[in-house]
Structure 1
């Protein structure tokens, strides 16, 4: 075998190993299971701004320290979307983000379709739980629920360098409250 062929094989193998490694790190390695507390894993913000836990069961969640928007969770609840709408703040413009394929209870496309069809409603879980990041909760007509993180308007402005304006909270005061 010539030196050229050996070099070509080495380059291909290095590329293949790098590709598989990057895929594994992004899809599996950074995620950790969220250990449920059994009492306050699913909380919604009431119309007056306080946060309360809702009834839930069958909670499954994943999160990663590598990004504030990697949180995903699934649960079941006896609370209907109509009942929730009477007490809790709606969340406008939420779009579920894809979860890793192995986290099979969270199908972002199906959740998005349910929101669009009106068979699921989205509520505010926690505004600015981290600066620019909101936790949102969707509840479907058939008693399933989903939680994920959204980048809010202040987060969009902060990340693209636009001046924040007066409607955004003070970043330092949020970090002290955490």
Structure 2
């Protein structure tokens, strides 16, 4: 009986306990401008988002952008290495497998939202032609190396003091 209770508690903690709803503001929906290299807000509506303090990779969001995909591709940095991360089953607006497949087939386009939103973690945004859009966090090249315990590679920003 104790093992069952422990199992239920562990399941609850992994799937529900650490997540909180994200109240959207302009900082949640930004894309990196091709010219300036800086993230800037884009128009959006119908935002649903979750995040957790337990990991910088737990961020997920679903929304609709009011800016056409054509305008976005002319203005913002496209990311070809986007790999959506699975969301908890109860956050049913975000289907990582479908988004990933659609990125592969070209039915959606991924953009860099914010590079190093947390050290070594980028926010990516996939956008469909009809305006549906999805955001998640993904480890970047610098993060992969540093999180493995190796020194900060050339070309990467310095690691924050609190993470050394």
Which residue among 98, 119, 136 is the counterpart of 1:131? 119
Please state if 1:120 is matched with 2:108.
yes
Which residue among 29, 41, 44 is the counterpart of 1:42? 29
**How many equivalent residue pairs?**
162
Separation of aligned partners in 1, 2:67 and 2:154: 36
- In the other structure, the counterpart of 1:67 is 55
Separation of aligned partners in 2, 1:79 and 1:109: 24
Separation of aligned partners in 2, 1:168 and 1:92: 19
Separation of aligned partners in 1, 2:60 and 2:9: 23
Separation of aligned partners in 1, 2:129 and 2:162: 34
- Using the size of structure 2 for normalisation, the TM-score is 0.93
Structure having the higher helix fraction is 1
Gaps of 5+ in 1: 1-12
- Using the size of structure 1 for normalisation, the TM-score is 0.86
